[in-house]
Structure formats: C-alpha cells, structure tokens
Structure 1
Amino acid sequence: MEQKKSKLNHWMRNSITARMFVVGFLLLVLLIPLKFVKALINERASRQEAVVKEINEKWGNEVLLSGPIVKIPYKVISEEKIFNQKSNSYFTKTKETIKNAYFLPDKLNIASQVETKPLNRSIYQSVVYSAAIDVTGKFPKIDFSETDILDENILWEKATVLLKTSNLKGIKTTPIVNLASETLIMIPQYSTEYLSTIQSNYIPNAKEIFATSHPFSFNLKINGSESLKFLPIGKETDATMKSNWHSPSFDGNFLPEDTNKEISEDGFSASWRVLQINRQFEQSFFGHLPNLSASAFGTKLIIPVDEYQKSERTAKYGFMVIGLTLLVFLLIQLVSKIYIHPFQYVMIGLALVMFYTLLISISEHSNFFKAYSIAAVAVLALITIYSRAILKGFKFPLLICASLASLYGFIYVIIQLENYALLVGSIGLFIILTTIMFASRKIDWNNES
C-alpha cells in the first residue's frame, strides 16, 4: 500500500500531465471566488443606481417638454332615438358633448442653457442640471371652416394654451405665456398620462386673436437629471442647447446638425431643425391629443463609464489573468524542476482574486486609476515575495512580476479604450499566445517519469 502511495506521489510530482491536470482543476476551483467578486460588483453597482435614482427623484427626473398648444373646446350635437314603452313609439333626444380641438404652432424656437453640477450622497454621486429654456414662435390663423364644426358650437371663450412636461416637480418658475397682447399664467391640471399638463387661464378675445397669426413666448427654469428632450410640434422647429457638460449623448428621433455641433472638455453646443414633413403627425387634432413622445429629441447627460462599470469590465478578464499566471508558474516549474504544491497554486490564485476586491473597495473612495494602481502594486508585491520563497531565487520571481505587471497594464489599456478595445485585445492575446508558445518550445513534453 505504501509502495502504491509512493508511486502515486512520485507520478503527481513528476508527471507533466498530472501537474497540468492539477493546475487546470485549481483554475476551475478559483472561478468560484471570482464569481463571488463579480456578484459583489453587481451588488455595489445596484446600490449606486438606487441611490442615484433617489437623488434624481428629489432634484428632478428627466425632462421632456412639449408646447405650447392651443386648446379650443367645441360642442358636438347628436341625436339619439329612444323607445318609449308606454306610448309604444320612438322619440328623439338631443345630446350635447364637449370635445376639444388642438392646434400646434407654425413656428417653434427653443433655446436652452443647461448648467450641470454633481450631487453627492455618502460615496455615491449623480449629475443633475438646471435648465433655462426660452421658447418663442408663432401660432397660425385658426380656421374651422374646413371642418363640419359650426361656428356657434365653438367655445372661443374657453380657449386655453397647454404645456406638457414629464417633470412638474423640477419647475422652479411659474410659466407665463405671452400671446399677442395677453399674458397667460399656467397652472397644473390633473393627469394620469406620462406627460403632465399645465394649462393657462382662458384666453381673452381668443376669436379675434386667432383670426390672424400671432407670436408667443415664454421662459422656463427647471431642474432635471439624465436627459433633456423636446417635442418638435412646430411646422418648423428649431432648437439649440448649450451646456457645460462634456459627455453628451444626443438621443431621440432626430440628431443635431453636424455643422452646428461642438463638444469639448468645457461643454457642448448643438442645434436641431425639424420640419413637419420629417415627423408623422399633423398640425391639428380634434377630439383627442395623442401621445407624441416617440418624436422627441434631445440630449442625455451621461456619466462616462463609472468605476463599477470599469471594475466589472476588469473582472471579465479575471479568468485570463488567473489562467495565464498559473500557466507561467507551471512553465517555470517544468523548466526549473522546482516542485510547487497545489496549496501554493491556490494561494497565488486567491491573491489574484483579491486584486478585484481591492480595486472595487478603493475605487469607491478614489478615482479608478489610483485604485487600479494601488491594487495592482499590492498584488504584484505579494505574489513576487511569495514566489521568491517558493522558487528560491530572484530570476523567476522577477520574471513573474514583469509578466503580471505587463498583463495588468495591458488590461488597463483595454478598459480605457472604446472603439479599439476588441482590436487591441485581440492583438495583445495573440502576442501573449506567441510568447507562451515560444517559451514552451524546448520543454520535453514526453517526459512523464
């Protein structure tokens, strides 16, 4: 029995196949703590998302603005035949229903100035903004002659102007619409729709005002977060946006004009021009105003890849880092004939896993570069010192330190890249594979003594 055990130990210590099998098995085992690390990153990222959402809700969520729109009620007279059982005959009952006609402006100009600032809660940060929006334009002459609505059924005295927004909470000034010579104060209306409605008081002399085309204007100060969008309800809609935010993402159904778009570290400016022919709805609606949100355009004020996203992307390379590092130790073991115990492989693997916990914990209190550098230096020092004790010299530990430092540097470069990450990653892996093939070419793989 002792002889068989001795032969097994000898085979485990000297057989290349056995050592490769052990290292491969340990690599699979080390995927378990690596999986826990990825779960920790996701949990911390979810916590950040919840805190940012709470900050944004208290400051003001995303803003989608639509308006102004003229609403004019009108009466619809219908007749209904009702059967009278007592007289065994029908009689006619006249029914009056109030409906609304909605008219969009011919010309709509929107100028917005967006100032962003960070808001912090504990270790988490959100970017919010305050927007000053100036809106001018012109309403068309409103004519019911092309409809079957009789003039006496039009309730001109109840005509109003509507604004619609997704964020009533963020409004910081009471909107006042200037129409012709009238000043209209806006008040909120109850609504269960996505866009809340702000409606003016009744327009004095509405019939006379809308007998011809008239200009309008209003300004709005509003707090928001994440995005600022507008609806192109004008027959011609021109919009401009200027901000001190350096990472905009132009979003929605229309992109800004390239000739008037500028993005720099100090902020951005952009302009849009949308014509009626560019979107799929008309300039007037009768009975019901549909949801036009699908035609919105604007800007997302995005935060560039944050620390949790970078940590998650780094952790995706964890299997490669652990695998290549253990492979380097295995090749050194085969070349130098120094025995490395499976327990020592496990300790090296756990040290590599600790890099990711250090990275995420430090990055919550510092920038990603500093966190990455500290975690990498700490793990490099630990593994180099530990391998010095295993390999009994400086030659191989320094080789391991250089290899691991190059690998961490390579991964950091990939994390920073966006458009060329796949290209650089593929080239880098090809070089790594070539190096390993070159280094292992003189190993006697047939030596299974």
Structure 2
Amino acid sequence: METTVAQAWQKSKLFFKALLIGILVLLLLIPAYFVEELIKEREQRQKDAYEEVSSKWAGSQIITGPVLVLPYAETVANVSGPPTILRKQAYLLPDKLTITGDMKPEERHRGIYQVMLYSSTLNISGKFNEIPLKQLRIDASSVLWNEAYVCINLQDPRGLKEEMQLKWNDSLVTLNPSAVNNAVMKDAFIAPVNVSPEGAISFSSQLQFNGSHELLFTPVGKETTVKLSSPWKEPSFTGVQLPEYQITRDGFSASWKSLSHTRSYPQLWKETSYDLTNASFGTGLFIPVNGYQKTMRSVKYAILCIVLTFAAFFIIEMVNKKSVHPIQYALVGAALLLFYTLLLSFSEYIGFNIAYILATVATVGLIGWFIKGVLSSGRLSWLLSLLLVLLYGYIFTILQLQDYSLLLGSIGLFITLGVIMHYSRKIQW
C-alpha cells in the first residue's frame, strides 16, 4: 500500500514539476520581450545618429530634370463680357538625357555608430527636339516666349557644393533656388532661357554635391542613360529599374537605360500634375552587416532555446534520477536570455558573427559550470553543454541562410522532437 502511494506521489510530483517548468517558460517570455524592446531602442539610436550626421551633411538625393516650362496665354470666351485671358503652363521633357558620374563614399562615426555618406560629381547632357506646339495644341502667338524657364531639382539642396550652371545652346545660365510651385516641382533650381518655336536645344551641366544613404535619378528623358561608378563594393540598387552592373575589388560600375514608355507620365503636357520621382532609380551605400536585424531575428528563437534546453535538462534529470529545483531552472533560463544582451552589446563593437561566437562561449560556459555543480557530474555537464553548442550553431546557420530558414527550421524541429520522444520513453510517467 505504501509503495502504491509513493508511486502515485512520484507521478503527481513529476506532473506538477513539468507543469511548473512550462509556466516558467511562459514567464521567461516577459524578459525576452524587454530584450526585443532594448534592441529596438538601440536600433533607433543608430537611426538618430544617422539623421544627426546627415542633417549636417545632406540627406538622400534625387536628381530630377531638366524640365522646360513654357508659359502661355489662353483666351476663354465670356458671354456676359469681354473674354478672360488665363495664364497657363506647358511642360516639356528632354528627348535625350545622359548622366555620367561617380559616387565617392565617406565614412563618419557618431559615437559607436557608423554612418555612410558620399560626395558625387555628375555630368548631365542632352537635347530637346523642336518644340511640338501642334501636339500641345498651342498657337505660337499665345506662347510667352520671354517667360520660358528651365528647372532642375536636387532633393536636398544643402548638399550642393558649387553653383548650379547650365549650358543652354551657346549661352551659360545660372540656376537659382526658387519656390516655383508648378505642377511638376514645388522647389527647384530655375533659370530663364531663350526658346524659339523652331530648332533643337542642346544642354549640359555639371553638378557637385554631397548626400547620404541613396543617390537616385529620375528618367525624364524620352531616352535616359545613366552611368555611375564608385569605389564602394557593396551597392544596394533600388528603384523601379535595376541596372547592368559589375562589381570588382576596386568598386562597382552600373548603367541604366530607360525609355519613356516605362514611365507613368508623358513626354509633354499642359497643366496636369505628375510625380516624376515615382519612376526614379539608383543605388544606396549598403552597409553589409546590420547586427540589430540579426539580433532581433535571433531573439525570435528565444522560446525555442528555452524549451529545448529545459526539455534536455528535464530528461537528464529524470533519466539519471537527479533532483533539480525550479529556481535552478529559472537561473538557467536567465542565462539563456542574457545571451541576447551579450550578443547585442558585443555586436555593436565587433560585428555580429564574432559577437555570436563570444556570447555562445560565455553562455554555454556559464550554464555548463552551473550544471556541473547542480548535478555533481562532469559528464552530464559536458553533455548539456554540447547540446547547447549544437543548438546555438543550428540557430546561427538559420540566421545566415535566411532564404532557407523555414526549411532548416522545420527539419531541425522534426529531428529534435524525435530525439526528445526517444529519450522520454525512459521516464516513468
């Protein structure tokens, strides 16, 4: 009778301990949430450092133009009085636009954070064919030829290093910043230009400016060609069109060719408003390792680490008839969570991969030392330490192979479940 009672008590004790461990796992998700918030806070500080440095240099740049603006007068009949004369504007884009230049990266630091900036020199050239007044349905006598102007937009004009000048046929004009507020640009560099109803117009300009993060081009030409080179080895091409490119140990070179039919706006129009930058493309200075993103992804696996470690700990405890207090489980769980704070702090200085190795060594060493004292067994301590090394190595592999993370995760969990099912058979539930 006493044996039966003892067995029943042992089974109920085993059940309640497993239940308590499950509750402990759920409670450990609370500090895991705060670790995620800490990572977000540090990432935001990195963004703030980037914004601070960029504000003193220049932000992302988008080159738009040149656009020729042709004011004209339109007479509207009035039944009750004299006709009304309205002042309107027509917009013409170049028939050919060629941009060539370079992008020189410059590295800055704000505290522990790295900020990539750049300086660029661009040579812009192209031409307007004869102005198609018939296509615009405007009479030549209605055009205010002496009020025609050309406009070019640089998204962050603070980055401009030299006066913006434009060779317009045989004349040289200086473009000045102005709140033009037309249907194409709110702010731009503009200059009055000589325009006649007949004959093509050629233009050329050189822009020297600073920027950060991205350099984008708006394909306003009927045929737009852009060629860009840089000593930066990690370009991040962006926008609606990808270039033909070559990356070597000396940097990269890229070329884009865009035709007007790939855009959402026409080559010429009247009064209608279009957002020309919707068709822009270009490149950014990509910093290869973003430790915050990888650390955040690794925290997503915290529940997996805790559950598998506790499961291994529990099976070792039961199979080897050792007794482990729930507080000791909690201490192991705390060590598992401290892994992520170590990873976060190390990665800010030495990069994610090395930080992951150091955090793994520190965490596994601490838990292995603790388990050796708790179980009074060097063999079991080494066994659990080996399991932790395999677990962290498995997660590290998933983090590196992002495209195959679901496949590797599913296979790994299936194998792990099989191992747990195999060894749990030895437990007398």
**Normalising by structure 1, what TM-score?**
0.87
1:264 Cα shift?
Answer: 4.5
1:391 Cα shift?
Answer: 0.8
- 1:27 aligns to what? 25
CA distance in 2 between partners of 1:107 and 1:349 (Å): 65
Q: Secondary structure at the match of 2:403?
A: coil
Q: Note the alpha carbon deviations across 1:175-195, whole angstroms, 9 max, x for none.
A: 211121111111011156876
Q: Say which of 129, 133, 152 aligns to 1:144.
A: 133
Q: Say which of 56, 67, 77 aligns to 1:58.
A: 56
Q: Note the alpha carbon deviations across 1:60-92, whole angstroms, 9 max, x for none.
A: 11111111111222222334355xxxxxxxxx2
Superposed, which structure 2 residues align to 1:270-285 within 5 Å? 270-285=254-269
1:299 Cα shift?
Answer: 2.1
Paired residue total:
423
Superposed, which structure 2 residues align to 1:176-215 within 5 Å? 176-190=165-179, 196-200=187-191, 202-204=192-194, 206-207=195-196, 211-215=198-202
**Normalising by structure 2, what TM-score?**
0.91
Match of 1:22, as an amino acid?
L
Superposed, which structure 2 residues align to 1:3-18 within 5 Å? 11=9, 15-18=13-16
Q: For the structure 1 residues 262 and 177, does the alpha-carbon distance in structure 2 shift closer, same or farther, using more than 3 Å as the test?
A: same
CA distance in 2 between partners of 1:130 and 1:10 (Å): 77
Moved more, 347-356 or 112-121: 112-121
Residue pair 1:115, 1:129 contacting (<8 A) in 2 also: yes
Question: Does residue 342 of structure 2 align to residue 355 of structure 1?
Answer: no
Moved more, 157-166 or 343-352: 157-166
Q: For the structure 1 residues 174 and 9, does the alpha-carbon distance in structure 2 shift closer, same or farther, using more than 3 Å as the test?
A: farther
Q: For the structure 1 residues 146 and 316, does the alpha-carbon distance in structure 2 shift closer, same or farther, using more than 3 Å as the test?
A: closer
CA distance in 2 between partners of 1:183 and 1:58 (Å): 31
Question: Does residue 406 of structure 2 align to residue 415 of structure 1?
Answer: no
1:103 Cα shift?
Answer: 1.4
List gaps (5 residues or longer) in structure 2. Answer: none
Residue pair 2:136, 2:268 contacting (<8 A) in 1 also: no
1:424 Cα shift?
Answer: 2.5
Q: For the structure 1 residues 195 and 119, does the alpha-carbon distance in structure 2 shift closer, same or farther, using more than 3 Å as the test?
A: farther
Moved more, 58-67 or 47-56: 47-56
Match of 2:385, as an amino acid?
C
- 2:231 aligns to what? 244
Match of 2:391, as an amino acid?
L
Q: For the structure 1 residues 317 and 145, does the alpha-carbon distance in structure 2 shift closer, same or farther, using more than 3 Å as the test?
A: closer
Residue pair 2:289, 2:352 contacting (<8 A) in 1 also: no
Match of 1:409, as an amino acid?
G
Q: Note the alpha carbon deviations across 1:281-304, whole angstroms, 9 max, x for none.
A: 222122355222222222233333
Match of 1:198, as an amino acid?
F
Q: Secondary structure at the match of 1:142?
A: coil
1:370 Cα shift?
Answer: 2.6
Superposed, which structure 2 residues align to 1:193-342 within 5 Å? 196-200=187-191, 202-204=192-194, 206-207=195-196, 211-256=198-243, 260-264=244-248, 266-342=250-326
Q: Note the alpha carbon deviations across 1:105-153, whole angstroms, 9 max, x for none.
A: 1111111311222221112222222122111111111142455533333
- 2:142 aligns to what? 153
Q: Secondary structure at the match of 2:287?
A: coil
Residue pair 2:153, 2:185 contacting (<8 A) in 1 also: no
1:408 Cα shift?
Answer: 1.2
1:375 Cα shift?
Answer: 1.7
Q: Say which of 162, 166, 178 aligns to 2:155.
A: 166
Match of 2:67, as an amino acid?
I
1:311 Cα shift?
Answer: 1.0
Moved more, 10-19 or 366-375: 10-19
Match of 1:59, as an amino acid?
W
- 2:359 aligns to what? 375
List gaps (5 residues or longer) in structure 1. Answer: 1-6, 83-91
Match of 1:93, as an amino acid?
P
CA distance in 2 between partners of 1:240 and 1:416 (Å): 33
Q: For the structure 1 residues 194 and 328, does the alpha-carbon distance in structure 2 shift closer, same or farther, using more than 3 Å as the test?
A: farther
Structure 1 vs Structure 2: percent identity of aligned residues? 36
Question: Does residue 428 of structure 2 align to residue 445 of structure 1?
Answer: yes
Moved more, 50-59 or 191-200: 191-200
Q: Note the alpha carbon deviations across 1:345-381, whole angstroms, 9 max, x for none.
A: 1111111111111111222222122322222111111
CA distance in 2 between partners of 1:111 and 1:445 (Å): 76
Q: For the structure 1 residues 15 and 96, does the alpha-carbon distance in structure 2 shift closer, same or farther, using more than 3 Å as the test?
A: same
CA distance in 1 between partners of 2:409 and 2:246 (Å): 31
CA distance in 2 between partners of 1:403 and 1:194 (Å): 62
Residue pair 1:166, 1:194 contacting (<8 A) in 2 also: no
Moved more, 327-336 or 185-194: 185-194
Residue pair 2:265, 2:274 contacting (<8 A) in 1 also: no
CA distance in 1 between partners of 2:392 and 2:136 (Å): 72
Match of 2:341, as an amino acid?
T
Q: Secondary structure at the match of 1:169?
A: helix
CA distance in 1 between partners of 2:378 and 2:8 (Å): 27
Question: Does residue 330 of structure 2 align to residue 346 of structure 1?
Answer: yes
Residue pair 1:168, 1:196 contacting (<8 A) in 2 also: no
Q: Secondary structure at the match of 1:224?
A: strand
CA distance in 2 between partners of 1:289 and 1:326 (Å): 63
Match of 2:65, as an amino acid?
G
